[in-house]
């Protein structure tokens, strides 16, 4: 048995962020990771051939750029621990079957000019949307990296002004309804509908309309950060920070139980029976569906509500490939961080999500891809390239077959779809690695049923109600000093650095001001 001040369960980036703040605050920290590698959804691995470094899950880091963690470099990840980002001028683009493209730039005027080829009216609408996104961004940004405001108070605040009521209206609308209100071109509507799709929801889902403004606001102000050396460079910097401040990060250590006494978390038990005690706190990246089993001391009602949280019907399947040369698109100037290969019509895109809702396969693969070696050649051998492509599928196949037996077939369908847009596909592929939704689940207990957001991003599982009202402030009823992190907590899935909010709550309980926790170069 060993004793620490703070123990963190899981080495996903959120847990590492919270643990790093605790370590910098002077606490003796232990991080326990069940896998042989660190990072959870922020990991770079040689999945195919030696020398080809693939981002297995997160590919670019968008929303964390507005987090004081990086914006003010509070933990010295950039100045002291070597984290570097590249910010391409073209973060996202859509490629259509006829060879036309629509690009979003960090410069809104250039984006408007790209849209003008489809509709001059829509170009003007984009300028207005860009201005509105910039106006709303400070308020949205301020809400993402601290504990969420109570739902009732937030709605009351919005209802107190005309501007707030307009924002609330957009927040309740579906992306489709709002896009039809704004744009006349199906190509432009389709382009922005894919933003909703990247959140694993249909553009017809209510309460998704705000996504475009959040996405565009961050895209234009901060860009899409491509971590030099791979997404795992963020993980490496966080681990270096923790270890530099006396912490221990241990792989191959699976926690089976959080122990408690007198209503307070006291330590953890590993699968091999090893016990560690925590004097001050435990940080747990524990999915709501697993929480009651791992924390027997939690309040019964909180446990019941955690178990009934809902997971998204749609999951991801991902193809990583080592390439003999860079991709050669049939369209010109395809050089964005995120490239969306569009179906033949907006209706096809919308119906694809209907297929998923009813447990079926999409009729046309909705492939998105990135080849980040074009921005960061250090990830591959000289002259080579990498591919990261994804699509949406049901976790349970409608034909009853096993994903382990059939994922190669679906990957081939994705490759065939990419060949419609890419001249040297599939011949350029040297070797491929496929992660089905089942594989996603295996890599992290946070990704149950292949949901990279942990649980669905519905209104009743958002903000202070994410994952439930009882757990929405990162604390666990019945077990004091146990604090939650992960994609199933506010603000949701993606690389937000949201462990900062957990750290704020933890440090407040220890009478430490987060503003005083800083690393200098």
pLDDT 10s digits, 11-70: 999 999 999 999 999 999 999 999 999 999 999 999 999 999 999 999 999 999 999 999
Dist. CA 318–CA 367, nearest whole Å: 10
Q: Whats the size of the chain, residue-wise? A: 521
pLDDT of residue 512: 97
* The CATH number of the domain covering residues in 311-443: 3.30.519
170 three-state secondary structure: helix
pLDDT digit string, tens, across residues 353-394: 999 999 999 989 999 999 999 999 999 999 999 999 999 999
Q: Is the pLDDT of residue 336 over 80?
A: yes
Work out the pLDDT band at 314, boundaries 50, 70, 90: confident
pLDDT for position 196? 79
pLDDT at position 197, please?
Answer: 79
Contact between 233 and 227 (Cβ < 8 Å): yes
Residue 521 has pLDDT above 80, yes or no: no
Q: How much is the pLDDT for 446?
A: 92
- 272-281: pLDDT as tens digits: 999 999 999 9
Residue 1 clears pLDDT 80, i.e. is over it: no
**In three state form, how does the secondary structure of 118-153 look?**
CCHHHHHHHHHHHHHHHHHHHHHHHCCCCCCCCHHH
Question: How far, in Å, are 74, 221, 341, 342 from residue 368 at the CA level?
Answer: 33, 23, 6, 9
CA atoms within 13 A on the CB side of 180: 8
pLDDT number for residue 195? 84
Contact 363, 352 (CB under 8 A): yes
How high is the pLDDT of residue 520?
A: 85
From-to residues of CATH 3.50.50.60 in the chain: 2-43+61-85+229-310+455-516
Give the per-residue pLDDT at 148: 95
- 193-211: pLDDT as tens digits: 998 778 778 999 999 999 9
Alpha helices in 198-256 (DSSP H): 211-221, 232-244
Q: Who contacts 205 (Cβ-Cβ below 8 Å, separation ≥6)?
A: 174, 175, 196
pLDDT average, residue stretch 65-90: 97
Q: What is the 3-class SS of 303-342, one letter each residue?
A: HHHHHCCCCCCEEEEEEEEEECCCCCECCCCCCCCEEEEC
Q: Report, at the CATH architecture level, how domain 2-43+61-85+229-310+455-516 is classified.
A: 3-Layer(bba) Sandwich (3.50)
| Arithmetic mean of pLDDT over the chain | 96
Q: What percent of the chain shows pLDDT beyond 70?
A: 100
The answer to whether the beta carbons of residues 289 and 307 sit under 8 Å apart is yes
Closest CA to 286 of 2, 12, 4: 12
Cite the residue boundaries of each domain of the chain with CATH code 3.30.519: 311-443
Q: pLDDT band for 259, please (50, 70, 90 cuts).
A: very high
Q: What backbone phi and psi angles, to 5 degrees, belong to 171?
A: -65, -30
Coil, helix or strand at residue 27 = coil
CB distance 428 to 327 below 8 Å: yes
- Answer yes or no: are the C-beta atoms of 12 and 234 closer than 8 Å: no
Residue 335: pLDDT band (50, 70, 90) is very high
pLDDT in tens, 402-455: 999 999 999 999 999 999 999 999 999 999 999 999 999 999 999 999 998 999
């Amino acid at each position: 048995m060993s004793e620490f001040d703070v123990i963190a369960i899981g080495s996903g980036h959120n847990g590492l962020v919270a643990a790093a703040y605790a370590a910098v605050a002077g606490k003796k920290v232990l991080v326990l990771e069940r896998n042989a590698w660190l990072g959870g959804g922020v990991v770079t691995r040689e999945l195919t051939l030696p020398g080809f470094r693939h981002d297995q899950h997160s590919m670019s880091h968008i929303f964390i750029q507005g987090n004081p963690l990086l914006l003010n470099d509070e933990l010295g990840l950039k100045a002291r621990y070597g984290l570097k980002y590249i910010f391409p001028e073209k973060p996202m683009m859509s490629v259509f079957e006829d060879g036309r493209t629509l690009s979003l730039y960090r410069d809104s005027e250039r984006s408007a000019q790209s849209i003008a080829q489809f509709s001059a009216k829509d170009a003007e609408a984009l300028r207005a949307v860009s201005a509105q996104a910039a106006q709303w961004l400070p308020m949205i940004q301020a809400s993402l990296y601290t504990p969420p405001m109570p739902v009732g108070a937030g709605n009351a605040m919005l209802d107190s002004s005309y501007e707030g009521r307009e924002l609330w209206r957009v927040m309740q609308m579906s992306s489709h309804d709002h896009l039809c209100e704004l744009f006349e071109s199906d190509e432009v509507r389709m382009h922005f509908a894919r933003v909703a799709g990247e959140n694993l929801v249909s553009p017809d889902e209510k309460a998704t309309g705000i996504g475009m403004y959040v996405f565009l606001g961050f895209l234009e102000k901060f860009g899409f950060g491509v971590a030099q050396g791979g997404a795992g460079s963020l993980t490496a910097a966080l681990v270096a920070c923790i270890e530099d401040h006396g912490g221990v990060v241990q792989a191959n250590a699976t926690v089976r139980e959080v122990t408690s006494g007198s209503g307070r978390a006291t330590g953890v038990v590993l699968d091999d029976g090893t016990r560690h005690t925590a004097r001050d706190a435990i940080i747990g990246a524990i999915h709501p569906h697993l929480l009651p089993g791992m924390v027997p001391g939690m309040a019964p009602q909180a446990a019941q509500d955690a178990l009934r949280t809902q997971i998204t019907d749609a999951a991801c399947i991902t193809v990583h490939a080592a390439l003999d040369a860079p991709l050669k698109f049939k369209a010109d100037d395809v050089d964005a961080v995120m490239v969306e290969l569009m179906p033949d019509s907006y209706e096809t895109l919308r119906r694809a999500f209907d297929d998923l809702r009813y447990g079926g396969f999409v009729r046309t693969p909705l492939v998105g891809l990135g080849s980040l070696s074009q921005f960061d050649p250090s990830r591959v051998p000289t002259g080579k390239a990498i591919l990261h492509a994804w699509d949406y599928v049901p976790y349970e196949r409608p034909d009853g077959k096993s994903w382990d037996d059939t994922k190669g077939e679906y990957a081939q369908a994705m490759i065939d779809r990419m060949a419609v847009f890419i001249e040297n596909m599939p011949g350029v592929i040297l070797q491929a690695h496929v992660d089905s939704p089942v594989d996603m689940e295996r890599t992290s207990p946070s990704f149950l049923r292949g949901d990279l957001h942990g649980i669905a991003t519905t209104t009743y599982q958002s903000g202070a109600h994410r994952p439930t009202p009882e757990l929405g402030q990162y604390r666990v009823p019945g077990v004091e000093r146990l604090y939650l992190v992960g994609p199933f907590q506010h603000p949701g899935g993606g690389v937000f650095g949201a462990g900062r909010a957990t750290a704020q709550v933890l440090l407040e309980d220890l009478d430490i001001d987060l503003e005083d926790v800083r690393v200098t170069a």
